[in-house]
Structure 1
Amino acid sequence: MLAIPVGLLSGGVIIAFRMLVESSQGMLLPEDNIENYEGLAVGLRLLLPVAGGLAIGLIWQFLQQETREIGIVHVMERLAYHQGRLPFRNAVAQFFGAALSIISGHSVGREGPSVHLGATSGSQLGQWLRLPNNSLRTLVACGIAAAIAASFNTPLAGVIFSMEVVMMEYSVVSFAPVILSAVAATTLTRLVFGSDLVFSIPAMQLGSLLELPYVFIMGVTLGCIAALFIHLLQRSTTLSKGWPIWIRCTLGGSIVGLIGIAVPEVMGIGYDTVNQALLGQLTLSVLLVITAAKIVASALGLGLGLPGGLIGPTMVIGALAGGATGIMADIWLPGEMASPAFYALIGMCTMMGATLQAPLAALTAMLELTANPHIILPGMLALIAGVLVSREIFGKESVYLVLMKARGLDYRDTPLTQALRRIGVASVMERRYESLPEVIDRERVLKALASEPRWILITRDRQPLAIMPAADLARQVQEYPEKEECSLTDIPAERKDVAAVDFQATLQEALSILDNNDAEALYVTRHTIPGISRVYGILTREDIDRSYRVN
């Protein structure tokens, strides 16, 4: 039932984030239009993003390096290396940094920051309740789904995005809480902003099946554009890695500002431009120019460290490129053709799917945004074409995995890893054990064996040293009844070296500790009060292997 509080908490944070951004844009931009960067004077189009980049850079310069780690890549890194424990201070930096970047007109999106904020909401609640790490991961997934659902007003797409893009696993056990969280967040968001979708979607359908080859070609084209976008983002991230952060952010803002002088549509998220493309209000030449400008402004700005998201820009790029191909089809191909808006919508989701390598999340978003089943068939064709071209021909993984590797990180996601991190050590450990000192008298041994333990935890100076089967100690007592004292490290027994593992850890963490410490078993410990810990059980490699095979 924690899924509902996580959904409400995440939805509340996203609402606050949107209100901060949109109210600031309403006061700053002409005609109280929150995306009317085109209405700014030419000088302001340059000054605003440069000043915003400089301000962000100076703030970032005074923050610690680990606090500057934000966005979806940060969430994935914390899931892979820190069991989903997301720090609160990074979320605060993300909240205000992304808000300032979007308000300044940088070519970034709000969905990436929203995912970070939603994930942190779930993680912080789980940490406060001291939940085991496998439960913590589930709450992070709930927060991610709630964030996407609240951002797009698409609860199902939020669920699929969480499982496919960030968690990279599908678990029946996890689906129920993630769905609940997405529903709770969407309900709260609709109470505040209404039930209108982000985009104005006109009625549309495929003109005829003869269009499908052209739809396939459009998918291939967008796969190439997605690969180009990922490449530019990766190269700008790698090349600027060692630069001072204030220089990087100022340069990123300057690039956006310079492009914005000639093509102001690149400034901001760009959803107003998407709506124009969907309504057929932009000419072919305008669509092509804005597409090229948006690719450069977004890829370089984000690569240089501006604290925004990339989902919004990829959808804008896809919509504009798709709208352009629709106009070309209308000009060049004979017969009845679908409207350019139809191609714009398919292009939007194809670009998203190819960039994130998440076709199911993109297809679900497309269906929820249109409520139109006629879009599924051509959408599936274009999506798969784009995803395969980007991955198989250009060798591009999900943009988030590419950015993780650019930072020297990797997302460990084998089937074994997925299975192990879903199980907590507390559910597998052997609780039947007795802790005894290395040298012990016969009376105390008999008293310990009376409780029929499976393991004996041997301690030296109250520190765990090794474990041995209780059966070996019982045999020693029976064979040598005359001995009043014995050393547990000297009697014949199958002893195993031990290391400590936290009570909240997953089996993935337990296995990693075993490997890193060359240990054969773990004693499960938990801090009851500061400075004092208690051992709750014993975990061996055999226990882990048996649990994995059962599950």
Structure 2
Amino acid sequence: MRQRLHARMVGMDALWHLALFGVLSGLLAGLVIVAFRLLIESVQMSFLADSNPENYEALAWWWRLLLPTGGGLLIGLVFQATQAQSRSVGVVHVMERLAYHQANLPLSNAIMQFFGAAVAIISGHSVGREGPAVHLGATAGSRLAQGLHLSNSSSRTLVACGVAAAIAASFNTPLAGVVFAMEVVLMEYVLASFIPVILAAVAATIVSRIFFGDAPAFDVPPMQLGSMQEIPYVLLLGLVVGCIAALFYYCLRYFSAVAKGRPLWQRTTLAGLLVGVCAVFVPAIMGIGYDTVNGAMLGQLGIGLLLLIVLVKVVATSAALGLGVPGGLIGPTLMIGACAGAALGALAAMLSPDVTSSAGHYAMIGMGAMMGATLQAPLAALIALLELTANPHIILPGMLAIVSASLVSSQVFGTRSIFMMLGEMRGLNYQDSPVAQALRRISVMKGMDREVVHCSRQLGAAEADEILRRQPHWLVFDCDKERAQVLAPADLARRLEAADGEGLIDLAAIPAQRAEALAIDMRASLQEALQLLRERQAEMLYVVNRADPDCCAVLGVLTEEDIEEHYRYPAANA
């Protein structure tokens, strides 16, 4: 049944199956994200004043110091006692598994992410929950794909579905979730994946709205640019946020470098201590900080406090994430951008009577600019702005600020996507050629030659004649779990003509050009097949179903020429 399902997945109706699985992965990811959020908020409401999950400011100063420190120590001790391969978490972990492990995300890492991030956020660390949500959503899609024994290319699509579902459920922004999955995590736009990814984002958004309502993540005030005379201030905001994004990038890089070679529990405890010291003086940096974002949008915070929050939040979040606290950085970047935007908007209103837009307008633009510059994902940031505000008037100033911030950060200060930087510090390389990206989307089941016969090494004349009547392209024999011999049927035909009709024909002994083939699983992509051919210097591959230990059938044969047909230009007609 699994083999038939996989065969249908590479057929003409595969999109129907992927669409259905996209909905399932979205529902599953949405439920996981809801459980994650409910766990965090229920614990926060049990000990914070007024049952407000954001009210860390009401804690005594010594609680603000000890809570993150104790949380960091607890996280470090638990992670230290866990196997090293289970400690890798977050968006970078998802990108690593996509690039190097065929989109197979282990459940153990997701469990560590779930509880590790919950402890970090509850204890007031300056981290967000969206990054962990991406990991949890991606794992939901991956485990669904593994359970159904889908191809690796289909597994990548379901991981993208989980990522989109996570962002959609976290911010109530389904379209931004789709673009984020393509632009930030997959780093490619695949038209065949859009339908299942969109359905996953919609499904997760519905689940989130059932539990939390359809209100946006932030209290967004009316949004409209007062006049075209404010364009210079919007441009200035983009330039300033680009500088802040570069500062955040290099601070995080510094703390990540400091962390190398130190015991994990020491790193997370130090991170907690640094966050605690910052929180003693600026308690607004604790936790996710959505209450501070709302305060900035409503103009409730002074310029000096806003600028102080920006600087301290950059340091605290960089320290927490760089030293190994399993949290996210998307939420903190939004808070930093909102405070920077609100400060500049208030300052512009003081200096120029032409500025009539609210501080909340500039705060929202600053959020998009900071997100776009930090992640180097301008389209995802712009779509997020549009969905969060539900106001098309945000598009023009948002585009200007996001593009200018991204250009300043990348071209002036030499930054890249912050996830790419963190991955490269782990020794990972995400640079793929367009050919590799194209081949990764095609299953070996689609590229292989199916006209093969799996036969015994020794054949009688009648059996050999029957095989040749089927007109196969290849004969496969001496097959085990890893290797097989492959023979062209023409060689068998010549031997059969020369035989006297008696005795057995030994395919390994007759004069022929035999090739040694290596086994590859039916779920693999053509990129994996090409890599295996070149690394092992094999002449060809034979495709089997390794998910079924009792099945030793050869499904097809694959050569490098077969793979090249999927990316080379056809020869021009003379």
Q: Which residue of the other structure, out of 94, 118, 122, is the alignment partner of 2:113?
A: 94
Check whether the contact 1:329–1:337 (CA below 8 A) recurs between aligned residues. no
Distance 1:495 1:364 in 2: 57
Residue of structure 2 equivalent to 1:369: 388
1:417 aligns with 2:436: yes
Single out whichever of 336-345 and 97-106 deviates more from structure 2.
336-345
Matched letter for residue 211 of structure 1: E
State the Cα RMSD in Å: 1.9
Query: Residue 289 of structure 2 aligns with which residue?
Result: 270
Query: For residues 202 and 460 of structure 1, what CA distance do their matches in structure 2 show?
Result: 68
Find out whether 1:208 has 2:222 as its counterpart: no
Whichever residue aligns with residue 537 of structure 2, its letter is: D
| Counterpart among 15, 21, 44 of residue 2 in structure 1 | 21
Question: Which blocks of at least 5 consecutive residues in structure 1 are unaligned?
Answer: none
1:146 has 2:154 as partner: no
Q: How does 1:20-419 map to 2 (within 5 A)?
A: 20-419=39-438
Shift of residue 485, structure 1, vs aligned partner: 5.2
How far residue 463 of structure 1 moved from its aligned partner, in angstroms, is 6.9
Structure 1 range deviating more: 34-43 or 201-210: 201-210
Give 1:489 deviation, angstroms: 4.8
Between the aligned partners of 2:132 and 2:112, the Cα distance in structure 1 is 10
SS of 2:565 mapped into structure 1: helix
CA 1:208–1:463: 2 relative to 1, 3 Å: closer
In the aligned structure 1, how far is the partner of 2:526 from the partner of 2:171?
Answer: 35
CA distance, structure 1, for counterparts of residue 401 and residue 495 of structure 2: 72
CA–CA distance in 2 between the matches of 1:27 and 1:304? Answer: 28
Aligned-partner Cα distance in 1 for 2:276–2:196: 43
Residue 433 of structure 1 corresponds to 452
C-alpha distance in 2 between matches for 1:509 and 1:391? 32
Aligned partner of 1:72: which letter? V
Per-residue CA deviations over 1:153-205 (Å, capped at 9, x if unaligned) read: 11111111111110111122110111111111111111111111110011021
The 1:276/1:473 distance shift into structure 2, 3 A limit, reads: same
Partner of 2:524: 505
Contact persistence 1:458–1:464 (CA under 8 A): no
Q: Which residue of 1 aligns with 2:472?
A: 453
Deviations 1:503-523 (A, max 9, x none): 111111111111111112111
Per the normalisation by structure 1, the TM-score is 0.96
More moved, 238-247 vs 58-67: 238-247
Task: Describe the superposition over 1:15-50 as per-residue Cα deviations: whole angstroms up to 9, x where unpaired.
Answer: 100000001000111111110000000110001000
Q: Could you tell me how far apart the structure 2 residues matched to 1:515 and 1:28 are?
A: 59
Specify whether residues 392 and 336 from structure 1 end up closer, same or farther in structure 2 by C-alpha distance, changes over 3 A only.
Answer: closer
Name the amino acid aligned to 1:92.
I
Compared with structure 1, are the counterparts of its residues 217 and 481 closer, same or farther at alpha carbon in structure 2 (3 Å cutoff)? Answer: farther
- Letter of the structure 1 residue corresponding to residue 179 of structure 2: I
Shift of 1:487: 5.0
Equivalent pair of 1:527/1:534 in contact (CA under 8 Å)? no
Contact 1:457 1:464 in 2 (8 A): no
- Which residue, 493, 515, 519 being the options, matches 2:538? 519
Q: Which residue of 1 aligns with 2:13?
A: none
| Greater CA drift, 201-210 or 409-418 | 409-418
Offset, 1:473: 2.9
Deviation at 1:82, TM superposition (A): 0.7
Q: CA separation in 2, counterparts of 1:257 and 1:237? A: 19
Amino acid of the structure 2 residue aligned with 1:312: G
When residues 493 and 396 of structure 1 are mapped into structure 2, their CA distance, relative to the original with a 3 A threshold, is farther
Q: How does 1:459-470 map to 2 (within 5 A)?
A: 459=478, 464-470=483-489
Alpha-carbon shift at residue 462 of structure 1 (Å):
8.9
* Structure 2 CA distance for aligned equivalents of residues 6 and 450 of structure 1: 46
SS of equivalent to 1:375: helix
Distance 2:500 2:322 in 1: 74
Q: Which amino acid aligns with 1:138?
A: T
Structure 1 distance, partners of 2:231, 2:514, is 67
SS of residue matched to 1:50: helix
Normalized against structure 2, the TM-score is what?
Answer: 0.92
Once residues 279 and 470 of structure 2 are traced to their aligned partners in structure 1, the CA distance between those partners, rounded to angstroms, is 76
Distance 1:110 1:336 in 2: 35
Contact 2:126 2:287 (8 Å CA) reproduced:
yes
